[in-house]
Amino acid sequence: MPDPIRIGVIGCGRILPAHFRGMQRLRGAGFEGFRVSGLVARNPADAERFRKRGEGPPPRPPVSRDPNDSLAAPHSYVSDWQPEEEATIYNSIDEMLAADAVDAITITASLPVHHTAAIQALDAGKHVMVEKPLAVSVRAGRLMVDAAERHGLTLGVMEMVRYQPSTRMTRWLIERGDLGEIQMIAAVSLGTGEWSPDRVVADTAWRHDRLTAGGGASIDIGVHISHRLRYLVGEIESMTAVARVFEPLRTVRDANGNVFGTIRADADDAFFALPEFANGATGTISFTWAGHGEPTGLPGGLTLYGTRGCLKGTTLIRDDGSRAEVADIFASEATDAERERFFPGGVTDAFGLTYLDWLNAIDAGSQPETSGADALRDLASAFSIMESATARRAVAINDVLSGAVNTYQQEIDSHYDI
């Protein structure tokens, strides 16, 4: 049996509980070919918060109350599910790499350090998993992908939307031909229950700073939407979009809703876009962190219309009027091989499946489904929203990917000297 892959964690923030929950569920399903061997955080106390039960500062309360939000994952300690090895806390990525104590690194730190930390790790011969979005700009993401290719290493991205059960089963349904050829799509969301109209999203102010986040809703949420559509419908060829900052002053609130701070916001809090797909499909997508009053959205967040029927959220409605839940169809008609393909070992946790795919790719010397190259295409699709809004015209995704269109991103690239 090969030695476990030793993983170092860079960044111990609010998304880490979702990562650890995924790892814990992998181990519970019998996948034990990895260890968390090191933790690095800008503030060492943040690493201590996750290493061992009974030490370090108390857990942070989740910033989201939505059980479907990754930011609502319960706190856990490495010691809870990995008693055989205690993770070492390092003061910096340099110290971790110098110790040669890890084989791979997962980066959950904030977006501006994705490209610098990933390239440093790849140059040191370490495989990398990075939180989405891939990078703060397309050019920064390209540097990461090039580094992985140059060193022959695995670069994965935590684009967990691909591994959510509803997405996996919908892909299976489309592959079977139940919807026929996809013609039209709609993914519409106006306002959110927790962050609208003007609350700082996830209590992380950097999400509203264009130079730190690359963009607002268009990038943070846009990569999720782009990835799901590319996985289910096919490549996005062009994008026409508008974007706005409706709430230039965002508030920080306590548990009772009382305002105790404000920040200036210059990253978009609303976008509306028309993607066109290479296969001829078209439609509309939108997402906003702005919006007073009650949020509005489509069932399940996504509707697909094909030549044989439509899918509204998780409900298939055929041309003959019959209705069925995708999960019920999958449960009764999927083969054992198909179940294993989409949910190996019966694992359904999206973060766990993303890690499993990455770990298997490391063992095979290949790339996972959510590879750096694939995530770069997601990033270009998301940035095409802001490039189109800036140029006030349709833009081709390939032009954003190549850098031929990058007016919106020029200031970002200049800020990071990319």
- Under CATH, which architecture does the 5-162+346-369 domain have? 3-Layer(aba) Sandwich (3.40)
- Tell me where in the chain the CATH 3.30.360.10 domain(s) lie: 164-343
- Taking the C-alpha atoms of residue 157 and residue 147, their distance in angstroms, rounded to an integer, is 15
* Sole residue written with tokens 């070992």: 345
Q: What percent of the chain has pLDDT over 70?
A: 100
Phi, psi of 307 (to 5 degrees): -80, -5
What are the tens digits of pLDDT across the range 331-369? 999 999 999 999 999 999 999 999 999 999 999 999 999
Q: What percent of the chain has pLDDT over 90?
A: 91
For residue 17, what are its two tokens?
């509980």
Mean pLDDT of all residues in 225-246: 98
CATH class of 164-343: alpha beta
Mean pLDDT of all residues in 310-338: 97
Determine which of 159-173, 226-240, 296-310, 349-363 has the lowest per-residue pLDDT on average. 296-310
Contact 151, 125 (CB under 8 A): yes
- Taking the C-alpha atoms of residue 184 and residue 413, their distance in angstroms, rounded to an integer, is 35
- Tell me where in the chain the CATH 3.40.50.720 domain(s) lie: 5-162+346-369
In which band, very low, low, confident or very high, does the pLDDT at 372 lie, cut at 50, 70 and 90?
very high
Mean pLDDT of all residues in 280-284: 98
Q: Count CA atoms closer than 13 A to 323's CA, side-chain side.
A: 4
What are the tens digits of pLDDT across the range 7-64? 999 999 999 999 999 999 999 999 999 999 999 998 999 999 999 999 999 998 888 8
pLDDT of residue 81: 94
Q: What is the SS3 assignment for 397-408?
A: HHHHHHCCCCCC
What are the tens digits of pLDDT across the range 373-394? 999 999 999 999 999 999 999 9
What are the tens digits of pLDDT across the range 174-186? 999 999 999 999 9
pLDDT of residue 80: 93
pLDDT of residue 255: 73
In which band, very low, low, confident or very high, does the pLDDT at 254 lie, cut at 50, 70 and 90?
confident
pLDDT of residue 1: 59
pLDDT surpassing 80 at residue 256: no
The per-residue pLDDT of the chain, averaged, comes to 96
In which band, very low, low, confident or very high, does the pLDDT at 68 lie, cut at 50, 70 and 90?
confident
Mean pLDDT of all residues in 130-156: 98
- Taking the C-alpha atoms of residue 284 and residue 166, their distance in angstroms, rounded to an integer, is 20
